[in-house]
Amino acid sequence: MSSRWDTAELATRRLHLALIEPWLIAAKKRRRLQFFGAPDLDDLPCADLDSQLDPASCDPACARFVAHERPQLAPFLCRGDDGWPALSWRWRGVPSVIDLDRFADFDAYRAALKRHSKGGILQQVKKARTQGFYSKTMLRDLHARQCFEIQASKRFRSGPVLAAFVKPPPPADFGSGITLADIAAYLGRPLSEVAQGVAFPEPPPPQCMHHWALDWGAFINDPVQGRDGAIIAERLVAYVFLKRIGNVVRTRGVMAHGDYLARNVMKLLFHDLMGLAAGPPGPARRGCALPALRRDRARK
């Protein structure tokens, strides 16, 4: 259930996206593209977006899911269905996209990453693992308070963080009215045992493999004292919220705790996410067979 603070935060974000961000994009776009060695705006490659809605295989809710995401993608659409540039293209952002067609598998991605960073990033990922950090999918409501603590751990990131200034912490450890007794019943374990600290369940596979929301976290086995005296076995130190809309998977929320940023937890998290995206099919991918974003070189 959203509080008035969540509503205020959402309204503030929408105002920023509508009134401030277009001016920032227009002022900085060309210089930033030059910094990354990108060509002229007119020569940037395009990627076709395919919602992959199929009445025969999709869940009935998929159409609503896609419709909800269209406004989120709209600020980055620079060409219409007819292939002509949008009139407001100078005010639109250029998304940072990883084209999975460039990598035959996860090993090919790691090899490219090794060349790009001269092995540095892979060493940082390895170091994070040796320090006890690991990543996995998670149910966000079971980590509601820890998510807030991550958000409030730094006052400024790319801009001011409302949670660090005025947003109060959630009244409970879990979201959506979930209690420790609910978790114990779900796990089929005694409440007293769960209260001493157990790993929380991960989400089930999505109903539709082409349209889903998935939350991924970086953890360490460092027990956290809950508000009601219970022990939470794993400390959440970073998270990424993902949504898949057809052939696009976008990040919705990306944040690490300020005390752990220097310990390479975000590099570990994104490295493992690419293992999901570019890795071989199998149970570890939980049915998420991500296709590549295919470049449309005919539209330039």
Sheet holding 235-245, edge to edge: 133-138, 211-220, 235-245, 248-256
**Residue 168 corresponds to which amino acid?**
P
Compute the distance between CA of residue 77 and CA of residue 2 in angstroms, rounded to an integer.
30
Q: pLDDT tens-digit profile of 105-139? A: 889 999 999 999 999 999 999 999 999 999 999 99
How high does pLDDT run on average in the chain?
81
User: Higher confidence at residue 49 or residue 40?
Assistant: 49
pLDDT at 81: 59
Cα 137–chain centre separation: 11
**Cβ atoms of 133 and 220 closer than 8 Å:** yes
End-to-end CA distance of the chain: 45
User: Higher confidence at residue 22 or residue 41?
Assistant: 22
Two structure tokens written together for 41: 């705006």
DSSP helix/strand/coil, 24: helix
pTM for this one? 0.82
Pick from 51, 36, 39: which is nearest to 300 by CA?
39
pLDDT at 19: 80
User: Higher confidence at residue 19 or residue 182?
Assistant: 182
DSSP class per residue in 155-180: SBSSSB-HHHHTPPPPSSSSSTT--H
**Cβ atoms of 225 and 196 closer than 8 Å:** no
- Residue 219 pairs with which residues in a beta bridge? 134, 236
DSSP class per residue in 76-135: G--B-TTSPBPTTGGGS-------GGG-SSHHHHHHHHHHHHTTHHHHHHHHHHHTTEEE
178 φ/ψ sector (left φ>0, alpha ψ -120 to 50, else beta) = beta
pLDDT band at 299 (very low <50, low <70, confident <90, very high): very low
Compute the distance between CA of residue 281 and CA of residue 289 in angstroms, rounded to an integer.
7
pLDDT at 163: 65
Q: pLDDT tens-digit profile of 103-114? A: 888 899 999 999
